[in-house]
A and B are shown apart, each in its own frame.
Chain A
């Protein structure tokens, strides 16, 4: 059972915005950087956001990340059908001495 909790699913129409929350604790999100990963159907995860709010080269600015206290949020604006995927947050947990992933959120474009 993951220590990082995400909503199972979110959905919106094309062009709209969605946000995905990732809730943790002081031993993980509260004291460490958060990353976000996108997993398109049948493919390997891909890094979307690192160090809470930074985007790797090639990731459009439609994707954004933020962190406040023991929670983090991924935002996707201008939703496209190609954004339909599973999204995972991840961070180091100092109490567990382990890297932990969130439970995952499926994004559906209506």
Chain B
């Protein structure tokens, strides 16, 4: 079972860029068996898929966020990252990183990190 841990600032100002990192342990981020993803959950609301990345760099983004999202992989650190630009209060959420090890399901999740957008 893979372990994932999110890290990054808990407070971001409006119009700035949200940056989070997910550190993977118990497996290699370069494995051809996995896709790496980000999901978010606004307070009191449901889950929203942000995007996936394959170790090769192939990415898949939520169309509603695509213009503002970048997901990247750092194989040397066994990490992958999320950048979300031009944030507003609507981007306030708990952000989760997760791994897809099978077909499309998210098999393992990080504990999540709350990011608040506020001046």
Residue contact B49 to A35, C-beta cutoff 8 Å? no
Closest chain B residue to A4, Cβ basis: B46
Pairwise interchain contact B106-A33, C-beta atoms closer than 8 A = no
Closest to B47 in A: A101
- Bound Cα distance from A30 to B110, whole angstroms: 29
Query: Which of A47, A50, A91, A98 lies at the interface centre, i.e. has the most chain B CB atoms within 10 A of its CB?
Result: A98
Q: Is there a chain B Cβ closer than 8 Å to A71's Cβ? A: no
Q: Which residues 75-100 of A sit at the B interface, judged by CB distance below 8 A? A: 88, 90-92, 96-100
The interface residues of chain B, by DSSP majority, are classed as loop
Interface presence of B75 (CB below 8 A): no
Q: Tell whether, in the assembled complex, residue B105 and residue A33 are in contact, meaning their CB atoms are under 8 Å apart.
A: yes
Cross-chain contact A51 with B102 (CB below 8 angstroms): yes
Binary flags per residue of B17-54, CB closer than 8 Å to A gives 1, else 0: 00000000000000000000101000000111100100
CB-CB contacts of B79-107 with A at 8 A, as 1s and 0s?
00000000000000000100000111111
Per the 8 Å Cβ criterion, residues 5-52 of A in contact with B are 32-33, 35, 37, 43-47, 50-51
When the two chains form the complex, which single residue of B46, B102, B103, B109 contacts A101, counting CB atoms closer than 8 Å? B46
Q: How many residues of A contact B (CB 8 A)?
A: 26
Task: Say whether, besides A51-B105, A90-B105, A98 and B62 are in contact (CB < 8 Å).
Answer: yes
Chain B 49-88 residues near chain A, CB threshold 8 A: 49, 52, 60, 62-63
Q: Are B49 and A101 in contact (CB under 8 A)?
A: yes
Q: Is A2 an interface residue (CB 8 A)?
A: yes
Q: Chain B residues near A47: list those with CB within 8 A.
A: 105-108
A99–B102 CA distance with the chains assembled, in angstroms: 14
A46 neighbours in B (Cβ, 8 Å): 109
Q: Is the CB of A92 within 8 A of B63?
A: no
A103 at the interface (CB under 8 A from B): yes
Beyond the given A32-B104, A98-B63, please list 11 additional residue pairs across the A-B interface where CB-CB is below 8 A: A33-B105, A45-B96, A50-B103, A50-B107, A51-B105, A90-B104, A90-B106, A96-B63, A97-B60, A97-B63, A99-B62
**Nearest 8 pairs of A and B residues by beta carbon:** A35-B105, A50-B105, A99-B49, A101-B47, A44-B109, A104-B46, A92-B104, A44-B112
